[in-house]
Amino acid sequence: MPRRDVPSRREETAGPVVEDRLGALPDEALQHVLSFLPSDDAVQTCVLARRWRNLWKSTPALRIKEPKYRWENPEDMNEFVNHLLLFRDHSPLDICELDSYPYYTTDDERDKPFRYIQMWIRYALSHKVRVPRVFIYNENGHFELDSAPLVSRHLTFLELDSVELDERALDFSTCPSLKALKMTNCFIMAREISSQSLRHLIANNNFFSRRSRTLISAPSLVSLQLNEVGGRTPVLQSMPLLETALVELDEQCHDNCHLSSSGNCGHGSCEGCQCFPFGSDRRVLFRGLSNTTDLKLLAEPDVFIFKRDLTLCPTFSNLKTLLLGEWSVAVDLASVVCLLQHSPVLEMLTFRLFEEVEGGQNPAEQFAHLKTV
Amino acid sequence: MEVDKGKGEAEETRKVAEADRDTVTLKSSDGKLFEVSKEAAARLSTVLAGMIAGGSIDDNGTDLKQIGSEALENVVDYCNKHANSIPSAALISSSISFNTAPFKEPEEWERKFVDRLSHDALFDLVEAANFLGMERLLDVTCHKISEMMKGKSPDQIREVFNIKNDYTKEELEEIRQELAWAFYDD
């Protein structure tokens, strides 16, 4: 790549272009450029010039985005993607983004937009995809990820939106490189979310099963966000490396009872007070959270999971920053004091009592005061 | 960042500096010298990382004969800016970069960094990043080029990049028939 002798036109952004600098780049660089384009745009570059005829075939990305603006109906989109996967060469995929076609119908064909998605995901995995993102529009019909575990040595980041996840769909024991998992608006009926390598888990507004608790077994986790948990709060197994965690249990959380603050009101008909882990460790969340340095616990007042876990007198030996939501004032003060007494290095405590008002106190004073209780 | 001193004086300064200093000096094809954070250079460029590890870094300015001073200045500028930005390990835990980082999309400051470049400076930088094995800088520059192509017709793309259409009419017709599944809107 010898330096060309062209005068600098640095300040002149709209200067006339006289040379085909793009076409002069090596194939890999052009494929890199194509990998950022939606796949249909990438394929269409084949008509630009001979140089471009086959470049799309080895582009390391599959990006199916905003399908509604690109295809008239789901059949056209299915035809495009199926042809693309059939005619591209066998070079590996790095990134795969799949948005399903937003399709509204009452007829029997409502699975049309999802018909091939499972197959496309399998294709991507078999082509060494590192970063897949699947986004489902589920206004009618739903998409259920294959209930067998995914198998890939290359998968590092997985993002799922509005996907139904059953059985062993979230068993990642056969994905040893998985580092981050993000799930939004998913229905999680899986028995277990398990991965030895997972470091970051973000779960926003997901609905878990009402009848049984999903177990999260991820011993390498460093950060955890469970926002707006619906259904049963999942059970966390030991997470010795976990540093920051946010758990938010809103009104959709099924673990609520207005009679009991610890999930044992004794009424057989109370659906809230059921479904707890048995055995020597009965904690739902605090086993996994006990090594965190930065912890945020938010819940509706009737949700009793935190209160129940507190009665088991957990220890937070590394906890420095703690944020507690409304639920903490509904519980008796002794439990909160117990929590603070078992947090020997706590530096900052904040109560968030209403959405807009944050009641932050001088942390040192607050803690010094409570220590003496 | 530029160390455009008289040669003798510059050499004097460098003799004083010990071998284990935390910057490396790079020399462009037209002989200009630039200093860059050793840590950032090793992290962002596989080629420079190899040279640093292999001890083939020249304290008087490592020769990069393939890269002109304007492009090298941008490379060095990018490395130093990157060194000052949030470390990439911390990025993934915040949900904002969770949405962009794995998908190789540029951060805001990276967008601004390439937006100010002229057409030629952008391509000089792609070539330099490619030569130095700078994956992230290639992401940022190639993303910029893809943005320049997005939503444009083949004719418009040819115009922006001065691409000469060397197909015959018959060849083009043949391609469109062969790939009818990809030209749905015609």
| Structure confidence at residue B85 as a pLDDT band (50, 70, 90) | low
> What domain range is B91 assigned to?
7-150
Q: How many beta carbons lie within 10 A of that of residue B16, not counting itself? A: 7
Number of domains comprising chain B: 1
Residues A205, A184 contacting (CB under 8 angstroms): yes
Distance of CA A337 to the CA centre of its chain: 33
Q: What is the CATH number of the domain that holds B136?
A: 3.30.710.10
Q: Could you give the maximum distance between any two Cα atoms of chain A, in Å?
A: 85
Q: Which residues of A32-44 are buried (b: 16+ CB within 10 A; e: fewer)?
A: bbbbbbbbbbbbb
Q: Per the CB < 8 Å rule, is A49 touching B93?
A: no
Beta pairing, strands A95-99 & A144-145:
unpaired
| Mean local confidence (pLDDT), A168-197 | 94
Nearest CB to B29: which of A3, A18, A156?
Answer: A3
Do the domain assignments include residue B183?
A: no
Kindly state whether B111 is in contact with chain A, defined as any CB-CB distance less than 8 angstroms: no
Per-position DSSP letters for A84-106, written without gaps between them: HHHHS-S---SEEEEEPP-----
Rounded Cα distance, B10 and A290, in Å: 56
State the average pLDDT over residues B28-34.
94
Evaluate if residue A3 carries a pLDDT over 80: no
| Res. B102: pLDDT tops 50 | yes
CA gyration radius for chain B? 21
The answer to whether A259 and A265 have CB atoms below 8 angstroms apart is yes
Residue A216 in 3-state DSSP?
strand
Q: Which residue of A has its CA nearest to B159?
A: A17
Asked if B31 reaches chain A (Cβ–Cβ under 8 Å), the answer is no
- The neighbour count for residue B186, using CB atoms within 10 Å, is 6
> Quick one: average pLDDT of B77-83?
88
Q: Is residue A241 pLDDT above 80, yes or no? A: yes
Best mutation target, A8, A22, A85, A204, to test chain B (most B CBs within 10 A) = A22
Kindly state whether B168 is in contact with chain A, defined as any CB-CB distance less than 8 angstroms. Answer: no
Look-up: residue for tokens 């965690």? A245
Asked if B139's CB is within 8 angstroms of A49's CB, the reply is: no
- What average pLDDT does chain B have? 83
Q: Which of B175, B44, B26 is nearest to A48 (CA)?
A: B175
pLDDT tens sequence across A53-111: 999 999 999 999 999 999 999 999 999 999 999 999 989 999 999 999 987 777 777 77
Q: Is residue B43 part of a domain?
A: yes
Question: Lowest-confidence range among A80-94, A270-284, B152-166?
Answer: A270-284
By the CB < 8 Å criterion, does B104 face chain A? yes
Is B160 a domain residue?
A: no
Do A222 and B93 make contact, defined as CB atoms within 8 angstroms?
yes
The CB-side HSE value for B122 (13 A sphere, CA atoms) comes to: 30
| pLDDT at residue B92 in the model | 44
Percent of chain A predicted with pLDDT > 70: 84
Q: For A155, phi and psi rounded to 5 degrees?
A: -55, 120
Contact B118 A13 (CB under 8 A): yes
Q: Which residues of B touch A200 (CB under 8 A)?
A: 92-93, 98
Asked if A44 lies within 8 A of B167 by C-beta distance, the reply is no
The pTM for the full model equals 0.84
Cβ atoms of A235 and A193 closer than 8 Å: no
pLDDT exceeds cutoff 70 at A354? no
Among partner residues B98, B145, B162, which is closest to A17 by beta-carbon distance? B162
Beta strands A215-217 and A223-227 are unpaired
Question: Per the domain annotation, does B171 fall within a domain?
Answer: no
Q: Under an 8 A CB cutoff, do B102 and A131 touch?
A: yes
Residue B81 lies in a domain: yes
User: Hey, CA dihedral for B93, B98, B102, B107, is it positive or negative?
Assistant: negative
User: What count of CB pairs under 8 Å joins A to B?
Assistant: 151
Element (H, E) at B145: helix B135-149
Helix-helix angle B119-132:B69-84, to 10 degrees: 70
